[in-house]
Structure formats: structure tokens, C-alpha cells
Amino acid sequence: MSADRPFDNQRILITGGTGSLGQVLTRRVLSGEMGRPAKVVIFSRDEAKQHFMRLQHQNVAAATDEVIYRNAKDALEFHIGDVRDRWSLASVLSNADVVINAAALKQVPTCEYFPTEAVRTNILGPENIVSIIETEKLPVKVVVGVSTDKACKPVNVMGMTKAIQERVLIQGNMRCGQTRIVCVRYGNVLASRGSVIPLFHEQIRRGGPLTITTPEMTRFLLSLDDAVDAIFAAVRDGKPGDTYIPRAPAARMTDLAKVLIGDRPIKTVITGIRPGEKVHEILISEEEAQRVEDRGRFYAIRSLLPEVTAQGATASVLKKEYSSGDELLSEPALRDLLVGHKLMVGDVNSEAGELLR
């Protein structure tokens, strides 16, 4: 695996590949920026999403997309299956060089009402990946587990299961000696399904009001491409057991609402914080801050396990937790960011596509 082009001639497996992140990740993998993969396999249990994603990748949207979509026709495959099902997972893992596990139950209320289902997908699914690689002695080179800010100091089932997912995967480095296993953790992604910007857009179109749970609430602001950048960095540079954290701007949700509303006669309503919801997103806890390395645009949390963190201890670059409440964008800077990502109301060519139309 080349350091500069780690995907060259590699077989890439993306579990949960039909989600918002998975679709942008697939486009970026097929673009060749990390090297030309021999095969990209989308593994998920949603037949309808796979069907529409397949159709999307069979059409050339613009002249500049020709290379991407010609490659997609040759390289892209879809498999129905579930990370909970060891047998269906084993069938696709057996031919994989790089695995990116984006499969998850990620809606906080759903996980609260169906905690056992969250355990099966978010914990037992990653355990299946590690166990199959271990017992079948598969030559998988890299596994990247996609996690969430909610795994840091978790207060809800979704976060608790994702926190254990991280530990299952990181400990897997001890069981799968030839496989480098790393994680990526980030907060809510701009314009992904279920996130605040599509909600605000829809509320503005209806004439308001915009609903905000508490005036103090802040969030990190990452685009889908920022999220993919973090995954690519972990593949390229991550050491066994690392958890990669993107450095991201943050904003108060009341300021986000003001910028999106502009001069429209639309009100905001404070609804009260929901059970299990945090006022600030925390990507690195106080305890983890003692084990953080600087990786340029990213932080890397080293593993707790000395058997996994083979390199010697280094001084941490953080002295406290990394929270969205630390440094906030001004309203003009926030507007510039949204305009740059084509996320103002009325934009139709954004990275989120149909979500904002």
C-alpha cells in the first residue's frame, strides 16, 4: 500500500455505504485522489438506497464527472447484507484490503427506545469485523471505524454503543496483527440527514418558527467532505489504535438560525433541551486530552492500551477537553462558511444535493 496513493489497486469495502457520508465517501474514493481502487463494494441492508445509488453512478452528470463515473461502472459493486450477520459480512470481508465501517444506528431517540438493536449494530457489528479477520486470518490491511462525538463522555445509548465500538476496534489491533485498525470521530455533519441545517431550511420554507432547544447550544461545523478528509487521513497516516479528530470551527445555534433567516420575518422558539442531548459537542474528553498528538488538520488520540500504542509516550498537545463551546465563529464568519459550502436557503448545488432542495 503506497503512502501517497494507498487505494491503488486495493479492494475497498464500505459498510453502511448508502448513507449521506457513504455516498460522498464513495464518490471521493472513485475519483482516484487516493489512488485507483480495483474494486469498491457498498455493503448495506437497504435495497432501495442501493438501487438509487447504483442509478446515480451509472449516469454522467457533467463532463468533469466522466472519469469518476466510467470508473464507477467498472469498479463499483453493491451487496445486500448486515454487519450483524456474520455470514453475509464474511462473504465481502474475504476479498477486502481496506474496510471503512460506516454502518450504524445513529438516531439518538431510536437507540433509546431500542437499545438492544443499537448494541447489535454498533457493537456486535464491529466485533464481527474484527472476529472474522482474526479467525479467518484475512489479509485486510486497514480498518477504519466511523464514530461520533456522542461516544465522548456518553450520556445516551447511541453514544454508549459507539464508545464501545471504538474500544472493540482499537483492541482488535491485538487480535489482528497484520491489520491496522483506527477510528475517526467527529460531530454532526453539515446537511447530513437528520442534522440541524436541513431542519432549519425546512422550517424557513414553511414560514417558521425555527426551533432551538437552548440558547447556549453550540455545535462543530463540518462538511461531508471534511468528514471524508478525516477518514482518508486516518487511512494514510493513522497508527494502530489512533482515533482521528478533525479540527473544526464551531458556532452557537442561535447565530446559525439568525444567519439562515437573514431578513425574513421568521421567529425562533426555544423548546428546551431533549433527554440525552448535550449543550456542547465534545470531541476529546479531559482524560483523553492527556494522550493527544498533533497531526496537522487533525488531532490523534493514542490508545490506552500499551500493547497497541507501540510508540513511546509523547507530551500531549492538549491540556483540556476539546469542545464546541471553546471558540465560536462570529455571525459574519459563519455566513461566509455557509455561503462557501452553498448551504444558504435556496442553494441547490450543495454537497448535500436533494437534502437542501
Euclidean distance between the first and the last CA atom of the chain, given in angstroms as a whole number: 40
Any catalytic annotation for residue 239? no
**Long-range interactions of 173-178: CB distance < 8 A, separation 24+:** 173/240, 173/241, 173/303, 173/308, 174/305, 174/307, 174/308, 175/130, 175/134, 176/130, 176/133, 176/134, 176/140, 176/143, 178/139, 178/140, 178/141
Amino acid at 243: T
Catalytic residue, chosen from 73, 141, 150, 319, is 150
- Joined together, the cell numbers standing for residue 61 give 452528470
Sign of the CA dihedral 298, 17, 135, 131? positive
Using CA atoms, how far residue 352 sits from 65, 80, 190, 355, in Å, is 17, 24, 8, 5
Q: 141 Cβ partners below 8 Å, 6+ apart?
A: 1, 10, 97, 98, 178, 179, 180
The answer to whether the beta carbons of residues 179 and 171 sit under 8 Å apart is no
**Long-range interactions of 334-342: CB distance < 8 A, separation 24+:** 334/221, 334/251, 334/255, 334/256, 334/259, 335/259, 337/221, 337/249, 338/259, 338/260, 341/190, 341/191, 341/223
Residue position matching grid coordinates 428546551: 272
Catalytic residue annotation: 150
